[in-house]
Amino acid sequence: MLSIALKMLTGNRGKYFAIVSSLAFTSFVMTQQPATFMGIMARTYSFLTDTGRVDLWVMDPKVQFVDDIKPMQDTKLYAVRGVEGVEWAVPLYKGSIRARLDNGTFQNCVLVGLDDASLIGGPARMVEGQLADLRRSESIIVDIDGATNRLARTVNGERVPLAVGDVVELNDHRATVVGLSQASASFQSLPIVYTTYSRAKAFVPAERKLLSFILVKLRPGEDAHAVAQRIRATTGLAAYTWDEFRNLTLHYFLKNTGILINFGLSITLAFLIGAAIAGQTFYAFTLENLRHFGVLKALGAGNWTLAWMVLLQAVVAGGTGYGLGASAVALFSNFVIGANFRFLLIWQIPAAVLAMVLLVCVTTALLSIRRVVRLEPAVVFKS
């Protein structure tokens, strides 16, 4: 009987294609949009990802997200080092600087100044060169995307990527590229330039406050939240764990931008439109096949058997549509993803989409089963 149900489903190719294509469209949009949303959200805290998981991030208490820099005095570093439970604390500078290109134009960059002694907070993935090369005179490390695109030089009318050994002018200061790093795509998509903390202070205009963050390592056995509370009480600064700082950044962007609303509307509309088309088409398909179900019922098929047949048809159509939609997302990600487009497809997204597609199919099947169960076999013999 189940094989007959499948033959009934695929026999009308037009109806079957309409059901599967609508579910495939629904699955595609409901998978692609959340994955794109997660990719954009990951960009907001990409600096945290590249810096690494230190135990605590210490900053001005009015900082709202990772790019909201509120500079502190360098003396705050020594105050944090004196807090009980802190094994070591190092400075980190993050700010904006202008790079002058060989054609005379300027390009804004993100300048990151690392602790001179330890270079903690530097890029974890080096494409060329070594992080220790930053200890050379006037040295910088540039992320590979920035070096290839926005900081590329023009030679004989062609764009030539910035390479190790090239000299860059940063805010009227000479800097030599000693390495290329692989950095995560940032929300602003600006080139990222790494140097030492003291050199970063020399590159930027002189100010009374230049310290952006303090990276803290705890002593073994210390509780991060307890030490963070001591730092707040002793210095008046804010102290967050890596996860807390990431969540603070995400909360800011979700609350103060329309990203969540825009993607939420797209996903909701895709689900409603796809569900309506697929549900209506499958329901019409069942009504058209009522005479066939009537014949089976007249031949002795029970209501449970007919119900399982309808449910099998719905699940097969839903599974096929979901599979096609998920495959389309995989192809889309391979062909479209680049430096300015990021996917973050966590396993919860396709699992949730599969559950929603099956919910649509089962709900429609239940509505169709009601008509099949109430069907009188005598309807087959009516003229």
Q: Could you report the per-residue pLDDT of 65-91, keeping only the tens digit for each? A: 999 999 999 999 999 999 999 999 999
Angle subtended by helix axes 2-11 and 13-44, to nearest 10: 90
Residues 93 and 231 in one domain: yes
Answer yes or no: is 253 within a domain. Answer: no
Domain endpoint, select from 190, 209, 240: 240
Residues 155 and 32 in one domain: no
pLDDT for the residue numbered 340: 55
Residues 191 and 320 in one domain: no
Answer yes or no: is 164 within a domain. Answer: yes
Residues 183 and 132 in one domain: yes
Helix (H) or strand (E) holding 318: helix 303-336
Answer yes or no: is 214 within a domain. Answer: yes
pLDDT for the residue numbered 211: 95
CA distance 317 to 364: 12
Answer yes or no: is 121 within a domain. Answer: yes
CA distance 124 to 96: 21
Helix (H) or strand (E) holding 357: helix 348-373
pLDDT for the residue numbered 330: 82
Looking at the structure of the chain, the number of domains it has is 2
Answer yes or no: is 48 within a domain. Answer: no
Below-70 pLDDT ranges, the chain: 1-2, 336-342, 375, 377-383
DSSP H helices in 120-223: 144-148, 197-203
CA distance 244 to 129: 33
Residues 284 and 360 in one domain: yes
Residues 326 and 359 in one domain: yes
- Domain housing 36: 2-43+258-381
Residue pLDDT, tens place only, 109-131: 999 999 999 999 998 899 999 99
Closest CA to 215 of 91, 128, 99, 111: 91
Answer yes or no: is 50 within a domain. Answer: no
Residues 215 and 295 in one domain: no
DSSP 132-156: GGGGSTTEEEEEHHHHHTTTPEEET
Residue 341's DSSP bridge partners are 338
CA distance 131 to 318: 51
CA distances to 29, 44, 289, 336 from 306, rounded to whole Å, are 33, 52, 12, 45
pLDDT for the residue numbered 53: 81
